[in-house]
């Protein structure tokens, strides 16, 4: 039934308190090392397409000795605040209260809690006790797009009440400044913290038409976590930009064809930016400058899963879409996630 098609009613976003410019990152690191940074590191930090980012804790925290329990406490405290802030904005924009929501999809890969964070929010925010909580872990940067598809599917299955999606990451608590190997430099150059919430239901807003994902099984080592002594340690390959053109592009072509769409039919796409070179590769493939994708990367860095929802919020802020819109995100698996929104 067409009136029960899942639609994106509203998006809300939230950031933690501590703002860092890329120049400040260089200065903080140089001060910690007691000498000027190598030119190579300055180049890495300067070529990301990022000007500023938000992180959960003040910079000095990240130079203290790391522990599992310490990181878990930071996650618990900061995540609860950001969840409530983003969810309240999204619900207010949709004209809803927490009690109106039937299901909460929660996406996060930088921390985990049991009971889950949405379970803890039932009483804190006033969701009904019979609200179903669906926490999703492990999707990393692809989680925002995959989570929106899951929320749309859950609404199709139970359309009596809207579904709330909350995508939240605290990438900064995985920083390791004690080693400063290449991987840690890249993490420091790219990643940030943020939270996005989306209300999926019937009514106004673009239709969440179709979602799909594709896993390349031979690429397990491209992105993810290793379990280290003090928490999650980043796994990140260098060749993701070239992978966009060689492997992701044909999969995305096939997805669009299945939706009876060509790239020329699309309005501005909402892509998870990854980093500057990844955006360039996506822009070349889509023949779209990806202005809002670049703006979110510039102002917020790579927040992992919520980033694509920040981009979607910016594109939709321009007004109702008049053409089909593509969402894309790449994450550990290695997985490519795709979605189409229609007017």
What pLDDT digit, counting tens, does each position of 5-52 carry?
A: 999 999 999 999 999 998 888 787 777 666 676 777 777 777 788 999
**Is 153 in the same domain as 290?**
no
| Rounded average pLDDT over 316-341 | 96
Q: State the average pLDDT for the chain.
A: 91
Peptide bond into 152 cis (omega under 30): no
255-297: pLDDT as tens digits: 999 999 999 999 999 999 988 889 999 999 999 999 999 999 9
In whole angstroms, give the CA distance from residue 14 to residue 197: 9
| Residue 171 among the catalytic residues | no
**Is 21 in the same domain as 126?**
yes
Has residue 183 got a pLDDT over 90?
Answer: no
**Is 238 in the same domain as 177?**
no
| Diameter over CA atoms, the chain | 65
**Is 71 in the same domain as 154?**
yes
Pairing verdict, β 223-228 and 231-236:
antiparallel
- Strand, coil or helix: what is 23? helix
In whole angstroms, give the CA distance from residue 302 to residue 110: 13
**Is 69 in the same domain as 186?**
yes
**Is 16 in the same domain as 138?**
yes
Which of these is catalytic: 141, 171, 252, 271? 141
Domain range spanning residue 160? 2-201
**Is 43 in the same domain as 128?**
yes
- What distances in angstroms separate CA 58 from CA 31, 112, 168, 181, 182, one per listed residue? 15, 22, 19, 22, 23
Contacts of residue 233, defined as CB under 8 A and 6 or more positions apart, other chains included, come to 174, 176, 225, 226, 227
Domain termination residue (choose one: 201, 218, 247): 201
Domain termination residue (choose one: 201, 233, 266): 201
Q: Find the CATH number of the domain harbouring 245.
A: 3.40.47.10
**Is 181 in the same domain as 261?**
no
Domain termination residue (choose one: 166, 201, 236): 201
**Is 182 in the same domain as 211?**
no
Structurally, the chain folds into a number of domains equal to 2
């Amino acid at each position: 039934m067409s009136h029960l098609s899942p639609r994106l009613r509203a998006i809300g976003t939230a950031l933690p308190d501590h703002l860092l410019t890329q120049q400040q990152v260089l200065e903080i690191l140089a001060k910690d090392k007691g000498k000027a940074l190598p030119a190579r590191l300055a180049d890495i930090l300067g070529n990301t397409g990022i000007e500023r980012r938000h992180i959960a804790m003040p910079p000095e925290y990240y130079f203290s000795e790391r522990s599992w329990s310490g990181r878990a406490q930071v996650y618990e405290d900061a995540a609860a605040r950001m969840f409530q802030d983003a969810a309240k904005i999204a619900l207010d924009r949709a004209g809803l209260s927490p009690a109106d929501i039937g299901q909460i999809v929660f996406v996060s890969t930088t921390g985990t809690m049991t009971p889950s964070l949405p379970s803890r929010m039932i009483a804190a925010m006033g969701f009904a006790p019979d609200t179903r909580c669906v926490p999703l872990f492990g999707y990393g940067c692809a989680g925002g797009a995959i989570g929106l598809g899951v929320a749309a599917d859950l609404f199709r299955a139970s359309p009596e009440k809207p579904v709330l999606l909350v995508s939240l990451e605290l990438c900064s608590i995985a920083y390791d400044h004690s080693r400063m190997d290449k991987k840690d430099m890249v993490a420091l150059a790219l990643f940030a913290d943020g939270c996005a919430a989306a209300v999926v239901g019937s009514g106004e807003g673009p239709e969440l038409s179709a979602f799909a994902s594709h896993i390349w099984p031979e690429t397990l080592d491209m992105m993810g976590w290793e379990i280290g002594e003090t928490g999650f340690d980043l796994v990140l390959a260098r060749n993701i930009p070239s992978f966009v053109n060689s492997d992701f592009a044909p999969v995305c072509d096939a997805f669009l064809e299945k939706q009876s769409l060509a790239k020329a039919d699309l309005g501005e796409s909402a892509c998870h930016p990854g980093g500057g070179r990844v955006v360039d590769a996506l822009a070349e493939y889509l023949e779209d400058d990806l202005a809002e994708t670049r703006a979110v990367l510039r102002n917020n860095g790579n927040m992992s899963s919520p980033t694509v929802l920040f981009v979607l919020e910016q594109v939709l802020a321009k007004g109702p879409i008049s053409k089909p819109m593509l969402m894309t995100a790449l994450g550990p698996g290695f997985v490519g996630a795709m979605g189409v929104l229609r007017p």
